[in-house]
Amino acid sequence: MTNVTVDIIIDAPCEAVWDVVFDWTRQGEWILGTKVSVASGDGASQGSVIEAWSGVGKVGFLDTFVISVWDRARICEVVHTGNVVVGTGTFEFFELPNNRTRFVWAEDLELPLGKLGQLGWPIAKPFFSFGVKKSLEKLARLVES
């Protein structure tokens, strides 16, 4: 299991950030190379199933996950159930002074490809973290505009 945690301060209240983050079909506007849709449920409650296609064109993978915790404008936890991405994701929102939000995106993941994945992760992790950070910066611009 490996952890990646990235956070950002956004000049908007928690509710506003939450509303953009969990407008699932719009996540492709700020998450690099990803298209997201609700597969079952309402997408806004425990048990809803979400599908995210990550890649370019037909080259990529499907990440399926189930919402396990949904506490509006505070925390959402998901359990990744796909063939490539397995583990948990946590999205936390912390209210800051002056209507600002600290948004934290954390992933605890089982690395794919066994030993090869473990050997390659030290090389891949900085790129993965960079991509998440760039996505969060894009999210901040979207929310703040």
User: Rounded to an integer, what distance in angstroms lies between the CA atom of residue 60 and that of residue 47?
Assistant: 25
Range of the domain at 108: 2-144
Q: What is the CATH number of the domain that holds 125?
A: 3.30.530.20
Query: Which stretches does DSSP call E strand in 1-145?
Result: 2-10, 34-40, 49-56, 59-71, 75-81, 86-96, 100-110
Write down the pLDDT at residue 114: 81
SS3 106: strand
Q: What's the pLDDT tens digit per position in 14-67?
A: 999 999 999 999 999 999 999 999 999 999 999 999 999 999 888 999 999 999
Rounded distance between C-alpha atoms, residue 68 and residue 48, angstroms: 8
What is the pLDDT at residue 41?
98
- Among 93, 127, 116, 113, which residue's Cα sits nearest to residue 8? 93
The pTM of this model reads 0.91
Residue 76's DSSP bridge partners are: 70, 91
Tally of structural domains, the chain: 1
Burial 90-128 (b: 16+ CB within 10 A, else e): bbbbeeeeeeebebbbbbebebeeeeeeeeebeeeeeee
Question: pLDDT tens for residues 107-134?
Answer: 999 888 888 888 888 888 888 889 999 9
What does the pLDDT look like over 62-105, one tens digit per residue?
999 999 999 999 999 999 998 888 999 999 999 999 999 999 99
Please tell me the predicted confidence (pLDDT) of residue 118: 84
Distance of CA 130 to the CA centre of its chain: 13
Query: What does each C-alpha distance from 119 to 15, 106, 112, 122 come to in angstroms?
Result: 40, 21, 11, 7
